[in-house]
Amino acid sequence: MNYQIEGRVAVVTGGSSGIGFATLRLLLAEGAKVAFCGRDRERLSAALERLRGEFPDADIVAHGCDVLNAQEVQQFAERVEQQLGAAEMLINNAGQGYVASFEQTPESAWLHEAQLKLFGVLNPLNAFLPQLRRSGRASVTCVNSLLALQPEEHMIATSAARAALLNMTLNLSKSLVEQGIRVNSILLGMVESGQWRRRFEQRDDQSQDWESWIAAIARKRGIPMGRLGKPEEAAQALLFLASPLASFTTGATLDVSGGFNRHL
């Protein structure tokens, strides 16, 4: 499929692994120029090396920064424009969850989750906004979670912060549409990750293979498709929403949860 992004500049935050890295691979396969950032410099370098090995002729920028540091993100944005040109697609992927019940969640965790989910999007948006405005067909796409609509008691602070992010992105879609910038999100359920692989290595029944082990978890959690999502499946949804193929879509949330959602 032609996503109509050849030669266009795409920025992915949290691109060193998982969904972010899978998204970079898809963007590069479609001929885009890409830039990505991350806090872990070793993982950032390893990701860049892998991408250059697979796409030796591609235009790629990797930059170490923390999305919660506005100055670092601004420096990232300036480097992207200098080396690749103005960004037209911003994909906000950086983030993680805090697992704890209400009784176990300290005030600092509430504050950090709100800061990470909101300013993890706002800082990159503010830094790249002048570039996005010049495009006329720009997009901002955010990785969010089904927790935004379907909160979990064991992730109460993250659930609240995810709901706030969903609210904010819908408002941004209204604020930025007249500037030619679309804003959309994907809502994730449970996705395969390094953390799940580490849990698999520590499983009680060592005779159980990955497929049967992960299927048992999916059944226990009530995922109708009987498995966890793959990073590349989330990446495909992000690529579609970021691309001109979704040119009449803004303020939308695309469910990528394998049917895990229990709401209308």
Q: Would you say residue 1 lies in a domain?
A: no
Backbone φ and ψ for 237, nearest 5 degrees, come out as -65, -40
Non-local (6+) Cβ contacts of 246 within 8 A are: 139, 182, 184, 240
Whether residues 211 and 180 fall in one domain? no
Q: Could you tell me the CA-to-CA distances from 8 to 59, 73, 87, 245 in Å, in that order? A: 10, 20, 8, 14
Range of the domain at 163: 9-191+230-256
Query: pTM here?
Result: 0.95
What size, in residues, is the chain? 264
Looking at residue 244, the DSSP 8-state letter turns out to be G
Whether residues 140 and 213 fall in one domain? no
Q: Would you say residue 264 lies in a domain?
A: no
Q: Would you say residue 261 lies in a domain?
A: no
Q: Tell me the per-residue pLDDT of 119-134, one tens digit each, with 9 for 90 and over.
A: 999 999 999 999 999 9
- How many domains, in total, are found in the chain? 2
How far is the C-alpha of 61 from the C-alpha of 79, rounded, in Å? Answer: 8
Whether residues 221 and 122 fall in one domain? no
Contact 167, 117 (CB under 8 A): no
User: Given this model, what pLDDT does residue 53 score?
Assistant: 98
Q: Would you say residue 2 lies in a domain?
A: no
Whether residues 140 and 203 fall in one domain? no
Q: Tell me the per-residue pLDDT of 154-170, one tens digit each, with 9 for 90 and over.
A: 999 999 999 999 999 99
Whether residues 152 and 36 fall in one domain? yes
Among 180, 258, 208, smallest CA distance to 200 is for: 208
pLDDT at 1 over 80: no
Q: Would you say residue 144 lies in a domain?
A: yes
Band of pLDDT at residue 97, cut at 50, 70 and 90: confident
Q: Would you say residue 118 lies in a domain?
A: yes
Band of pLDDT at residue 203, cut at 50, 70 and 90: confident
User: Given this model, what pLDDT does residue 200 score?
Assistant: 86
How far is the C-alpha of 190 from the C-alpha of 216, rounded, in Å? Answer: 13
Band of pLDDT at residue 96, cut at 50, 70 and 90: confident
Q: Tell me the per-residue pLDDT of 40-50, one tens digit each, with 9 for 90 and over.
A: 999 999 999 99
CATH number, residue 83: 3.40.50.720
% residues pLDDT > 90 (the chain): 83
Whether residues 50 and 142 fall in one domain? yes
Whether residues 223 and 241 fall in one domain? no
User: Given this model, what pLDDT does residue 195 score?
Assistant: 76
Among 57, 96, 50, 94, smallest CA distance to 72 is for: 94
Contact 22, 91 (CB under 8 A): no
